[in-house]
Amino acid sequence: MTARPPSPCSLRARAGRVTASRSSTSTSGTVAATSLETTSDEDELMTINENRHGGLAGPTGTSGGPGAVSSSNSSLASNSSSSSEAGSVHSAEGDLLLLADGPSSAGRHPMDASACNACTLTLDNGGGCAVVPERPLVNGCEDMWSWNKRDRSKEVWLSRSDNRRVYFHPNWSKGTAGIRGTRVLNNGRYYWEISLSQRVFGTSMMFGIGTKKARLHVNMFTNLLGEDRNGWGLSHKGLLWHGGVARNYTKRFKENQPTKIGLLFDGIAGTLTYYKDDVCLGVAFRGLNEIREPLYPVVCSTAAKTEMLLSETRRDFVNLQDRCRAIIIKHINTREKLDRLALPYFIKNYLAEAVTESTAAVTPLELHLIDQYLY
């Protein structure tokens, strides 16, 4: 008599027992493999996120190229890229602490006391800068500084003869790039504006100040300006960074929308204040007058093909002599014109400090006016 074939229910039960036994023996190996695959996928998604073309396509401009990301992948890349190796990972409790923190001494963030004794992060949005009747340093003079072509990342390009327009990662982004300005800020009052193109996205686009020790390039996507005690910066995600610790400051910038950022450095009071589209955001950093190392303007970005223009630079007058020099330079604005003046050596050198590096030729009419009124 032939044996009765097993029923479908018994076969499914037998298969379940076999699968359970196999899974119990390979759980650790599977978890390890899954962890490695997840890490690799997140790194790849971060790179794609930094190089997306206006949020739609990659550098090739095709929907099937390396820059094409689905909506779910874009969300994952944005979430993963918000953290960095410089200490930007916050727990849920930490985020609540940042949100609840305010300008009062009772609500100060722990980093104010422990991260750096020379300066503290405070927010004065409630009353420190509520109403601005006019633009900062409107009674000052133009300050002719630019980005330093000798003090930048290799992933930063400069255009125009005055070195005021900067491009980050012109081809493809594989990390974070920055550039320093030529202006030393200590002991003075300076205001400058940075106009951003519509390509506002990525892990971090930052604006602020730093010392010569602040890094200008790293092969990872991070909040570079403020990763240590050598930098003070604002990210386009609305976070202030210093000493490797972030703090909420303002709303994150809208992606793919042109924006103008103003920075007011007061070396006398030791403060740095930010403006966004002509609206004062309040004092961001204090105690900067206690920094003994030279401080410079700094910008950096992780996103590919991003552009920043140094659209305005102004400074306050130091004394009456400085004010008189500014009036003279309005008429004698090139070194060629200055060399034609019969002035003592020290006075001519003092005037030359404020002369722009202009290549404009001197017209015959200007030469006549110089000879007639200044000789």
Over range 91-115, report the average pLDDT.
35
| 214 and 246 share one domain | yes
Residue 95 lies in a domain: no
| 161 and 283 share one domain | yes
pTM tops 0.85:
no
Residue 324 lies in a domain: yes
| 224 and 338 share one domain | no
User: pLDDT confidence of 136, banded at 50, 70, 90?
Assistant: very high
Residue 4 lies in a domain: no
| 184 and 325 share one domain | no
**Residues with Cβ < 8 Å from 258, sequence gap 6 or more?**
195, 196, 197, 198, 200
- Boundary of a domain, candidates 315, 334, 360: 315
pLDDT beyond 80 at 240? yes
| 151 and 299 share one domain | yes
**pLDDT at residue 290, as a whole number:** 95
Residue 59 lies in a domain: no
What CATH number does the domain containing 236 carry?
2.60.120.920
| 234 and 356 share one domain | no
Across the chain, mean pLDDT equals 72
| 250 and 155 share one domain | yes
How far is the C-alpha of 112 from the C-alpha of 122, rounded, in Å? 8
| 263 and 353 share one domain | no
- Boundary of a domain, candidates 293, 315, 337: 315
| 296 and 174 share one domain | yes
Residue 240 lies in a domain: yes
- Boundary of a domain, candidates 315, 336, 356: 315
| 211 and 181 share one domain | yes
pLDDT beyond 90 at 289? yes
| 247 and 362 share one domain | no
Residue 43 lies in a domain: no
| 230 and 266 share one domain | yes
**pLDDT at residue 117, as a whole number:** 38
- Residue 161 belongs to domain spanning: 141-315
Residue 16 lies in a domain: no
**pLDDT at residue 333, as a whole number:** 75
Domain total of the chain: 2
Residue 39 lies in a domain: no
Over range 253-279, report the average pLDDT.
94
pLDDT digits (tens, 9 = 90+) for 159-214: 867 899 999 998 888 899 999 999 999 999 999 999 998 888 888 899 999 999 99
